[in-house]
Structure formats: C-alpha cells, structure tokens
C-alpha cells in the first residue's frame, strides 16, 4: 500500500501557501455563511430552510428533549453497531476459513443488504413488539455489509508469500487467519467501521420511524407532520454531527492501530475469472441458483425456528401464491409492479445523475486542487449524514413531487461517488503522473489518460454500493413524505396489516436491488475490460 | 536447538542425520485445457543429505515450482516428492523444513525479534528468547531486535528472514532466490555470509538462484534446468572445499565450474545472471503480490 499512498501527495504542490486546515476551515465558514444568507433572504418564510442561527437557537431551546431522544437513538445504534459488526467479522472469518463458502457468504450478504430497510421495520415491529428490538436489528442490518466486504478484501490484500510462510510450517487457514490476515486487514476494517458509524445511526432512525415510542426518529416524524422547519433541521443537524463524530472518532482510533491509510475500495471487485466464457456462464447460473435456494431456505427456516405466526410472518410459499397462484394474483402483480415502476422512474434518473455529477465534480476538484481541498472534507462529512434525516428536508424544499425524490436519490448517490472517485484519482501511482509531467502533458490530458482509468474501480465500487442505498432513499422518501410508489404502498400495507402484499414488496424490491447491483457489476466488467484492463488483473 | 553442524571445531566433517529429498519423474501442469501451462515434465532431482544444491535455469522454467512442491506448498500433477521417504507436510509441522522467500516475507507489524519468533510459534516450539537473540547476532542484526521491517534495508530484511529460517532448527532449508531483491554489493556480502551460516547450522539445502557465482560459491552441486517445460539438463558438482570463503571466488576451480554452468545455460560466464527471458514464447506474468484486489496499480 505504501507505494500508492506516497504517490498520492507527491506531485501536486501548486498552492503551498495555505495549510490544509486553513483552507478547510475557510470552506466550512463560507458554506455556513452562504447558508445563513440564503435562508434569511432568498428563501425566508418559504418553509424550506432554517438558517444556522435559527437551528442553533432551536437546539438550545429543546436541549433536554433532544438530549433524551439522542440518548435513546444512540443506544440502539450502538447495540446495532456492535451486533452487526460482530456478525460481519464472524462471517468474514468463516469465509476465510472455508474458501468455497466465500462466494455464497458474499452473495447472501448482498441479498440481505438489498432488503428494503423501511419495509423490514414494520415486520420487525410486529415480531419484537414495543421496545428497541427493531431499531437495533435495522442498525445491525445497515452496518454489517459495509464491514464484511472491506474485510473480505482486506483478508486477501496480502502478498502470497505471507500465507505461504505459514503453510511452509505445515499450518493451515486458521493460523493464517490469526497470524497474517486478521492483522493485515485492520486498515480495511477501520474503513468499514467508519462508514458503519453513520449507517448504524441511520438504521436506528429508520427503525424508529415505524412505531417506536422514543428517539430522534420519532421526533422527526412529529416535526414533519407539524411542518416544523426549524425542528426538522435541528434534528438533522444533531444526527449529522453525531454521525460525523462517530466517523471521526473511529478514524482516529483506527489510525493508531493501522499504519497505512484506509483504502478506498469498500465493495468487492468482480473476481477476475479466467475460465472459458461458456463455463463462466454455467458457474454464474449455478451460483445464482444456489444463492436463491439458500436464501429461500434461510427465510423459511428462520420463521419456523422462531415459530413466528403466519399471519404476519409470511413464508416463501405465501408470497409465491400471492403473486402467481391465486385468482387475484394478476391484480396483485399489477399493483406491486406499477408502484415499482413509479419508484424506479425517479430512482434510476436520480441515481445516474448522482453518479455523473459525482464523477465530474471529483474530476473538477482534481484539476483545481485548492477547490478540492476545501470541498473534500465537507463532502466526506456530508457522506456520513444519515440521509434519512435529511430526506424530509429535501421534500420540504423541493416539494412532494418527482423532483424532490430525484434530488434525494441523486444526493445520496453523489457524495459516496465523489469521495470514492476523488480518492481513486489520487491513487494513481506517482511515477505514472511524473511520467506525464516529464512529457509536459496538460492537467486535462493527465486526468483523462492516466488518472481516470486508475479511478474506475473506485467509481464502480461506489456505483455498486449506491444501488441499494438509492432504493432505500427513494422508498424512505415515499414512505415518509411523497405518498407515491412502492414505498407508499408498503406504508399502506403496513398500517392495514396486508402482510402478503408487504412481503411481496420486500421480495420484489430486494430482487430489483440485487439485479441492479449485478447489472452495474456487468457494466463494470465491460468498461474495465475495454478501458482499463490492467485494473482487472 | 538440535545440533546438526556439518563440521566440528577443527573443521572435520561430522556425522549427522539429515534428510534426503527425492523428486521423481514429476510433472506439474497449471490451469486447465486451453490455458494449460506445463511447468515441469519428467523432472528428477535428489538432494543428498547434508549437501547444498543450487538450481539454476531461465526465468519461468519451474524452479520455484520445484521448491514449492518440496515445501509442501504445491502438489505435483504426477510423480512423487518425498523427504526421507515421507510426503512433504508431515515433516513441516515439526519445524524441520524452512523456506526463504524472494521477498523476505516479514510481517510488517512485527519487530525483527517477533518475526523470528513467529517461526517457532508456527512450528509449535517454545519461545526460546535466547536462541532468537543469538540468531540475530549471528546474522549481524544486533541492535535491531525491536526494529520493524520497514526500518530495515533490503539486505537486512533478507538476513532477518534467514534468521527466521534457522530459528526452528530445520534439517531442510529451501531458499528461493533469497537475495533476488537486494543490490549487487549486498548480495556479494550475503553470498559470503550464507555458506558460513549454513555450514554452522547444518542442513540439507536447495538454493534457487539466477546468479552463477552465487550458485557455485554456495552449492555442492549445481543443477541446470531447461526452459519450460523444465527438466534437468546438467548436474555439475562443485569440488570446492568447505568451509567456503571469499578467496575461493578467484580460484581456478571456481572459474572452471562457473564456466561449465554458464555453458550449460548457454550464456557467458561474466554476464551478471541468467537471461531473464526464456528462449521461446513470451513469459506470462504471474501476479505474485496482490494488493487490495482491484486497487490501483
Ligand atoms: N499458480 C500458477 N498458476 C499458473 N501458472 C503458474 C503458477 N505458478 C507458476 N506458473 C507457471 O509455471 C511456470 C514456472 O513457474 P516458476 O515460478 O516455477 O518459474 P521460475 O523458474 O521460478 O521463474 P523465475 O526465475 O522467474 O522465478 C511459469 O511459466 C509460470 O507461468
Ligand atoms: Mg521463481
């Protein structure tokens, strides 16, 4: 890793006058000022934006109330964080010990990651009853994937001579895991845990949307219902600051334990498969079938194991019958699919817009490093905002129509893309950039021919991970605010106890997310093959 | 540490029990069908107890593959590898086999001391702090016990790796281009140190190398391999006396043996190493070091 990180800073020192922290601080101050001015002039009285000063006043006023709610949510988030990450570490360990299980573990993990959290909330609510069960479960679900995947990558990011060394003393995978892989993967683990901090908070808040008694999520719902703009913003700010604090704290702790900088890639890259194309298709199909069978088996087994009542805990067969086997199945399908189409009609454009703008912004920042240095920390901070907390704001600002949704999905895709691409661009090995310097290639030229190809894997990693996130954002916005699409349909079914429909929605949405993820992975394979084959190895 | 030194205080050979390694009619294929690579075909090799054998040959001819099979890291497609009649693997667990890798393979988060101790830990032996300290002295790293690999030079790292190899008291030493990554000057110095360490320690040894002088100075026999698929094309004994020393580098015997090895390889003796390209077919790259999968570079 060292060679890469060294290359990162080496060659661009065009603005040496100001130290980094000064530029960052200036950026933050300018941002706040702009916000205050806009809120007090342009958008005053529009029920959209509260000025920073108003928000601070509101937080001060409701300190006791917010403090209590924050404690509740934090506690649920913390429990979920611990449970989710412990599960991830355990799964990664299993995958590392049993190589054949790795692909299955990854595929199942992806399926679970693609579960629409909003819809899982009400189901968990009936299962757990009152209390923090659903919040904790959702927080755990929200974090485990972003820890599991970097860990799996980190386990493999060792020179082959290290495992060979262990094997040369006749020891197997377990000793390799203990002595080599565990320690080598710490930077990756830290990167995953950092992302997990805001994600856990987000999961806990989503859990609170679905019928909790206390917590920031509950306050958010009340604030939206009463059109309390300052209140909504106050909660969003509290959630954001808390998340960023978690992000920074874990990063700080992590730095003390890992020497290298945390890597960018947080999604497993597509494994280069050198077998013949025909064979590849066969193994691919087999993998999908196997995953489906195991997923359905697990679903059924879990419900039976906990002896959950079939009234709300629908089995795979119930969903199948509901969608395909009953006289009303045609109508049922029609209902789910038309709602899905409505959701996708905004999610897909928003997702693509987020990707494109994020990519372009990162390139701009690369060409104008001063702007980049001011903006990157803000982008990293914004990436860690629990977007759910801001969804209501965006709906307030841009209305309940498609445009508001577009903005939500777009923003959610934009920030991770920006951060990943920016870091990917900077990862170009120093010598390559120096080579371009020697030939006096211009900034744009270097960017296009050298930096962008090496940033492609980071871009696609972000793009893949953003698929379930975009679906989540869209459904949450629909659930909470816009009253359209499959998110709204699930909200209705949850309140009318139409559990067959709810489970069907969950299944369909999960399939759509998994398919989207797979589609992006295919595009990735094609593009990398075509434009950056060296990245495929 | 068991004492199997090859020479007593007066320099007379000592009778010790060291393993014999037999590689008999081994074939090794990688990949399947279209992309198949035949690395070794009908390969035979015997490592006599207590001798050091050097294996030289063009790049990609299968030297590392031979070494890895003896170390139990790879299996032969057909044919057999035995250490004292047993398959490799059984002996590894007792710490009787030690492998030195081209890239030293020191764990960056462990100190020199801890890296050396790791070998004993993996072999299920006790910590033996004193022995570790002695080994560090022997390889000339005194004062660097607590240093991390990143703070060492390339040559120092290789010495640490060699100390680690010796830490379990192995009876079989497998060295895969241990000095491949260090500069020429350091390499020459280590070439003079290694025979001393090996003679003092006593073990059956296999040394894979690209350097003809290194092969001749260190080994009792130089085995020359053909380009892929690798076979033995020459076995050249080295009649230099032991213990070896730097003066022998200029001796007539040395130059003659080196010439014969060079001739078998089809190169000039004064070329610094064996040519890096095999005669036919471009060499496929084997990604040995894998960074974050999909990472830049
Ligand atoms: N894991 C593997 N998968 C596929 N092919 C391999 C693998 N390991 C080695 N090979 C092939 O086997 C042949 C011999 O490889 P090996 O590493 O033993 O060569 P070598 O003689 O050690 O070369 P060098 O001197 O460059 O180290 C090479 O052509 C290589 O392409
Ligand atoms: Mg080799």
**B209 within domain boundaries:** yes
Residue pair B22/B52 in contact by the 8 Å Cβ criterion: no
Residue pair B165/B119 in contact by the 8 Å Cβ criterion: yes
The pLDDT of residue A481: 73
pLDDT at A10 over 70: no
Q: Can you tell me the distance from the alpha carbon of A90 to that of A177, in angstroms, rounded to the nearest whole number?
A: 12
Q: How many CB atoms lie within 10 A of CB B97?
A: 29
Q: Is the CB–ligand 1 distance for residue B87 below 6 Å? A: no
**B53 within domain boundaries:** yes
The pLDDT of residue B208: 94
Domain boundary among B129, B153, B169: B169
Task: Show which residues on chain A lie within 8 Å of chain B, measured between beta carbons.
Answer: 1-4, 153-154, 156-162, 164-171, 175, 179-180, 183, 188, 259, 263, 265, 268-271, 274, 276, 424, 427-429, 454-455, 457, 461, 535, 537
> Do residues B84 and B192 share a domain?
yes
Distances (CA, A) of A466 to A352, A391, A410, A473: 10, 16, 10, 10
Q: How many CB atoms lie within 10 A of CB B122?
A: 23
Q: Which residue has the tokens 């987020």?
A: A354
Nearest CB to A537: which of B90, B102, B287? B287
Order of all β-strands in the sheet with B21-30: B37-47, B21-30, B78-83
Q: Can you tell me the distance from the alpha carbon of B17 to that of A428, in angstroms, rounded to the nearest whole number?
A: 54
**B residues 186..225 contacting A (CB < 8 A):** none
- Chain A residue whose CA is closest to B95: A169
How far the first Cα of chain B sits from its last, in Å, is 44
DSSP label at A47?
S
B287 at the A interface (CB within 8 A)? yes
* Nearest CA-CA partner of A230 in A385, A431, A114, A66: A66
Distance of CA A159 to the CA centre of its chain: 29
User: DSSP per residue over chain B, as a string?
Assistant: -----SB-TTS-B-------EEEEEEEEEES-GGG-EEEEEEEEEEE-TT-EEEEE-STTSSHHHHHHHHTTSS--SEEEEEETTB-TTTTGGGT-EEEE-TT----TTS-HHHHHHHHHHHTT----HHHHHHHHHHTT-TT-TT--GGGS-HHHHHHHHHHHHHTT--SEEEEESTTTTS-HHHHHHHHHHHHHHHHHH--EEEEE-S-HHHHHHH-SEEEEEPSSSB-EEEEEE----SS--GGGGGSHHHHHHHHHHHHHHTS-TTSSSS-SS-SSSPPPPP--S--STT---
Nearest CA to ligand 1 atom 6: B30
The pLDDT of residue A383: 63
Q: Are strands B204-208 and B21-30 parallel, antiparallel or unpaired?
A: unpaired
Out of A133-147, B36-50, B163-177, B178-192, pick the least confident: B178-192
Question: Any alpha helices (H) in A16-62, and if so which ranges?
Answer: 20-40, 52-61
Q: What are phi and psi of B175, to 5 degrees?
A: -115, 110
The pLDDT of residue A159: 82
Helix (H) or strand (E) holding A139: helix A133-156
Q: Can you tell me the distance from the alpha carbon of B98 to that of B72, in angstroms, rounded to the nearest whole number?
A: 11
The confidence band for B216, taking pLDDT boundaries of 50, 70 and 90, is very high
- Segment B5-9 shows an average pLDDT of 53
- Count of domains for chain B: 2
The nearest CA of chain A is from the CA of B258 a distance in Å of 31
Residue pair A129/A135 in contact by the 8 Å Cβ criterion: no
**B294 within domain boundaries:** no
Degrees, nearest 5: CA angle A31-A36-A37: 100
Q: Tens of pLDDT along A468-488?
A: 888 888 888 888 777 788 888
pLDDT at B261 over 60: yes
The token duo for A146 is 């972003």
The pLDDT of residue B295: 31
Q: Can you tell me the distance from the alpha carbon of A201 to that of A76, in angstroms, rounded to the nearest whole number?
A: 8
> Do residues B69 and B176 share a domain?
yes
Q: Tens of pLDDT along B164-209?
A: 998 888 889 999 998 877 778 778 888 888 888 888 878 899 999 9
> Do residues B222 and B82 share a domain?
yes
The pLDDT of residue B63: 92
Residue pair B230/B40 in contact by the 8 Å Cβ criterion: yes
Nearest CB to B119: which of A169, A175, A537? A169
Question: Any alpha helices (H) in A211-323, and if so which ranges?
Answer: 216-225, 229-257, 277-305, 316-320
pLDDT at A435 over 60: no
> Do residues B114 and B92 share a domain?
no
DSSP label at A327?
T
Q: Can you tell me the distance from the alpha carbon of B90 to that of B100, in angstroms, rounded to the nearest whole number?
A: 19
Nearest CB to A1: which of B92, B174, B291? B291
The pLDDT of residue B53: 94
* Nearest CA-CA partner of A134 in A69, A232, A213, A195: A213
The C-alpha R_g of chain B, in whole angstroms, comes to 19
Is B105's CB within 8 Å of A165's CB?
yes
**B14 within domain boundaries:** no
> Do residues B58 and B39 share a domain?
yes
pLDDT at B285 over 80: no
- Segment B223-234 shows an average pLDDT of 90
pLDDT at A108 over 80: yes
Q: What are phi and psi of A88, to 5 degrees?
A: -60, -45
The pLDDT of residue A531: 73
Q: Is the CB–ligand 1 distance for residue B247 below 6 Å? A: no
* Nearest CA-CA partner of A114 in A520, A523, A508, A519: A508
Higher pLDDT: A140 or B139? It is A140
The pLDDT of residue B4: 54
Q: Can you tell me the distance from the alpha carbon of B99 to that of A286, in angstroms, rounded to the nearest whole number?
A: 39
The confidence band for B114, taking pLDDT boundaries of 50, 70 and 90, is very high
Atom of ligand 1 minimally distant from the CA of B68: 18
Number of residues that make up chain A: 537
Out of A44-48, A53-57, A214-218, A403-407, pick the least confident: A44-48
Atom of ligand 1 minimally distant from the CA of B225: 21
> Do residues B112 and B249 share a domain?
no
pLDDT at B293 over 60: no
> Do residues B92 and B187 share a domain?
yes
> Do residues B146 and B213 share a domain?
no
Dihedral sign of CA atoms A97, A98, A99, A104 in order: negative
How far the first Cα of chain A sits from its last, in Å, is 17
Q: Can you tell me the distance from the alpha carbon of B59 to that of B176, in angstroms, rounded to the nearest whole number?
A: 13
Degrees, nearest 5: CA angle B36-B78-A165: 80
Higher pLDDT: B282 or A448? It is A448
Q: Can you tell me the distance from the alpha carbon of A266 to that of A152, in angstroms, rounded to the nearest whole number?
A: 10
pLDDT at A257 over 50: yes
Peptide bond into B245 cis (omega under 30): no
Order of all β-strands in the sheet with B232-237: B97-100, B172-176, B204-208, B52-56, B221-225, B232-237
The pLDDT of residue A166: 93
Q: How many CB atoms lie within 10 A of CB B45?
A: 19
Q: Can you tell me the distance from the alpha carbon of A362 to that of B171, in angstroms, rounded to the nearest whole number?
A: 57
Q: Which residue has the tokens 């869209």?
A: A474
The confidence band for A185, taking pLDDT boundaries of 50, 70 and 90, is confident
B286 at the A interface (CB within 8 A)? no
**B26 within domain boundaries:** no
> Do residues B196 and B251 share a domain?
yes
Residues near A317 by Cβ (< 8 Å), separated by ≥ 6?
none
CATH for B214: 3.40.50.300
> Do residues B152 and B89 share a domain?
no
Q: Any bridge partners for residue B82, and if so which? A: B22
Is A165's CB within 8 Å of B290's CB?
no
Q: Any bridge partners for residue B13, and if so which? A: B7
- Chain B residue whose CA is closest to A427: B296
**B75 within domain boundaries:** yes
DSSP label at A179?
I
Q: Is the CB–ligand 1 distance for residue B63 below 6 Å? A: yes
pLDDT at A396 over 90: no
The pLDDT of residue B115: 94
Residue numbers of the domain that contains B151: 106-169
* Nearest CA-CA partner of B264 in B100, B52, B61, B25: B61
- Chain B residue whose CA is closest to A452: B296
pLDDT at A319 over 70: yes
The pLDDT of residue B79: 87
**B15 within domain boundaries:** no
Q: Can you tell me the distance from the alpha carbon of A103 to that of A181, in angstroms, rounded to the nearest whole number?
A: 18
Nearest CA to ligand 1 atom 25: B59
Distance of CA B35 to the CA centre of its chain: 29
pLDDT at A135 over 70: yes
Provide the b/e sequence for B126-165 (b: ≥16 CB within 10 Å). Answer: eebeebbeebbebbebeebeeebbeebeebbbbbbbbbbb
Q: Any bridge partners for residue B45, and if so which? A: B23
The token duo for B265 is 């390889």
The nearest CA of chain A is from the CA of B109 a distance in Å of 8
Is A265's CB within 8 Å of B294's CB?
yes
Domain boundary among B148, B169, B190: B169
3-state helix/strand/coil string of A477-535: HHHHHHCCHHHHHHHHHHHHCCHHHHHHHHHHHHHHHHHHHHHHHHHHHHHHHHHCHHH
> Do residues B139 and B248 share a domain?
no
The token duo for B95 is 């710490």
Nearest CA to ligand 1 atom 5: B30
**B256 within domain boundaries:** yes
Distance B171 CA to ligand 2 centre (A): 22
The confidence band for B270, taking pLDDT boundaries of 50, 70 and 90, is low
Q: Which residue has the tokens 């990943």?
A: A420
The confidence band for A275, taking pLDDT boundaries of 50, 70 and 90, is low
Q: Can you tell me the distance from the alpha carbon of A352 to that of A484, in angstroms, rounded to the nearest whole number?
A: 21
Q: Average pLDDT of chain B?
A: 81
Long-range pairs for A41-49 at CB < 8 Å and ≥24 separation? Answer: A47/A227, A47/A229, A47/A396, A48/A229, A48/A396, A48/A397, A49/A229, A49/A233, A49/A397
Distance A310 CA to ligand 1 centre (A): 59
pLDDT at B239 over 80: yes
Distance of CA B161 to the CA centre of its chain: 11
Distances (CA, A) of A80 to A12, A137, A192: 42, 6, 15
- Segment A376-395 shows an average pLDDT of 65
Out of A185-199, A301-315, A380-394, B115-129, pick the least confident: A380-394
Q: Any bridge partners for residue B7, and if so which? A: B13
Q: Is the CB–ligand 1 distance for residue B37 below 6 Å? A: yes
- Segment A410-425 shows an average pLDDT of 82
Higher pLDDT: A2 or B158? It is B158
> Do residues B184 and B69 share a domain?
yes
């Amino acid at each position: 890793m060292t060679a890469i990180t060294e290359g990162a800073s080496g060659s661009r020192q065009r603005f040496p006058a100001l130290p980094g922290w000064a530029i960052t601080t200036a950026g933050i101050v300018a941002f706040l000022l702009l916000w205050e001015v806009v809120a007090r002039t342009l958008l005053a009285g529009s029920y959209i934006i509260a000025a920073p000063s108003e928000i601070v006043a509101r937080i001060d006023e409701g300190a006791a109330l917010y403090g209590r709610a924050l404690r509740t949510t934090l506690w649920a988030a913390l429990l979920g964080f611990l449970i989710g990450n412990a599960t991830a570490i355990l799964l990664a360990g299993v995958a590392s010990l049993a190589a054949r299980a790795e692909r299955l573990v990854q595929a199942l993990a992806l399926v679970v990651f693609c579960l629409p959290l909003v819809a899982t909330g009400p189901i968990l609510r009936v299962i757990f009853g009152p209390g923090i069960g659903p919040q904790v479960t959702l927080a755990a679900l929200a974090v485990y994937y972003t820890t599991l995947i970097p860990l799996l990558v980190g386990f493999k990011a060792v020179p082959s001579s290290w495992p060979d060394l262990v094997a040369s003393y006749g020891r197997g995978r377990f000793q390799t895991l203990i002595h080599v892989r565990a320690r080598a993967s710490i930077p990756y683990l830290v990167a995953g845990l950092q992302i997990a901090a805001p994600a856990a908070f987000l999961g806990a808040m989503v859990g609170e949307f679905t019928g909790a008694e206390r917590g920031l999520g509950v306050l958010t719902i009340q604030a939206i219902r009463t059109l309390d703009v300052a209140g909504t913003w106050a909660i969003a700010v509290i959630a954001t600051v808390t998340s960023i604090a978690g992000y920074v704290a874990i990063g700080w702790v992590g730095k003390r334990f890992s020497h290298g900088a945390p890597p960018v890639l947080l999604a497993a890259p597509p494994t280069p498969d050198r077998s013949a194309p025909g064979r590849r298709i066969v193994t691919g199909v087999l993998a999908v079938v196997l995953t489906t069978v195991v997923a359905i088996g697990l679903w059924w087994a879990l419900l039976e194991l906990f002896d959950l009542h079939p009234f709300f805990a629908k089995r795979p067969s119930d969903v199948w019958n509901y969608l395909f086997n009953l006289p009303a199945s045609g109508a049922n399908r029609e209902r789910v699919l038309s709602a899905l189409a409505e959701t996708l009609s905004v999610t897909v454009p928003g997702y693509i817009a987020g990707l494109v703008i994020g990519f372009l912004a990162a390139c701009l920042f690369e060409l104008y490093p001063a702007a980049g240095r001011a903006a990157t920390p803000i982008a990293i901070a914004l990436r860690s905002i629990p977007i759910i907390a801001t969804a209501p704001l965006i709906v307030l600002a841009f209305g309940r129509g498609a445009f508001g949704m577009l903005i939500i999905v777009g923003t959610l895709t934009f920030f991770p893309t920006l951060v990943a691409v920016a870091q990917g661009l900077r990862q170009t090995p120093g010598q390559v950039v120096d080579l371009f310097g020697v030939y006096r290639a211009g900034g744009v030229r270097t960017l296009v021919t050298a930096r962008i190809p090496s940033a492609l894997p980071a871009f696609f990693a972000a793009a893949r991970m953003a698929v379930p996130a975009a679906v989540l954002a869209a459904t949450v916005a629909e659930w909470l605010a816009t009253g359209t699409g499959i998110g709204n349909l699930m909200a209705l079914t949850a309140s009318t106890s139409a559990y067959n429909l709810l489970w069907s929605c969950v299944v369909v949405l999960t399939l759509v997310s998994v398919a989207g993820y797979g589609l992006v992975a295919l595009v990735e394979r094609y593009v990398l093959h075509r434009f950056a084959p060296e990245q495929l190895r | 540490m068991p004492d199997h030194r090859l020479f007593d205080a007066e320099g007379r050979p000592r009778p010790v029990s060291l393993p014999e390694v037999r590689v008999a009619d081994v074939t090794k294929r990688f990949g399947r069908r279209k992309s198949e690579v035949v690395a070794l075909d009908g390969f035979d090799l015997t490592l006599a107890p207590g001798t050091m054998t050097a294996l030289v040959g063009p790049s990609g001819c299968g030297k590392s593959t031979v070494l890895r099979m003896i170390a139990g890291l790879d299996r032969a497609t057909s044919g057999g590898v035995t250490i004292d009649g047993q398959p490799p693997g059984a002996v590894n667990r007792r710490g009787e086999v030690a492998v030195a890798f081209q890239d030293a393979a020191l764990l960056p988060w462990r100190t020199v001391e801890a890296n050396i101790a790791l070998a004993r830990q993996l072999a299920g032996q006790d910590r033996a702090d004193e022995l570790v300290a002695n080994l560090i002295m022997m390889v000339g790293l005194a004062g660097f016990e607590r240093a991390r690999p990143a703070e060492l030079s390339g040559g120092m790292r290789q010495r640490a790796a060699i100390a680690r190899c010796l830490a379990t008291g192995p009876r079989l030493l497998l060295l895969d281009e241990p000095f491949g990554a260090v500069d020429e000057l350091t390499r020459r110095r280590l070439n003079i140190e290694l025979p001393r360490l090996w003679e003092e320690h006593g073990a059956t040894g296999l040394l894979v190398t690209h350097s003809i002088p290194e092969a001749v100075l260190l080994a009792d026999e130089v085995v020359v391999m053909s380009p892929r698929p690798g076979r033995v094309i020459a076995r050249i004994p080295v009649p230099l006396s032991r213990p070896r020393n730097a003066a022998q580098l200029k001796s007539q015997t040395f130059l003659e043996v080196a010439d014969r090895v060079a001739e078998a390889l089809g190169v000039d003796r004064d070329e610094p190493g064996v040519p890096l390209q095999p005669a036919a077919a471009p060499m496929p790259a084997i990604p040995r070091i894998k960074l974050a999968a999909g990472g830049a570079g």
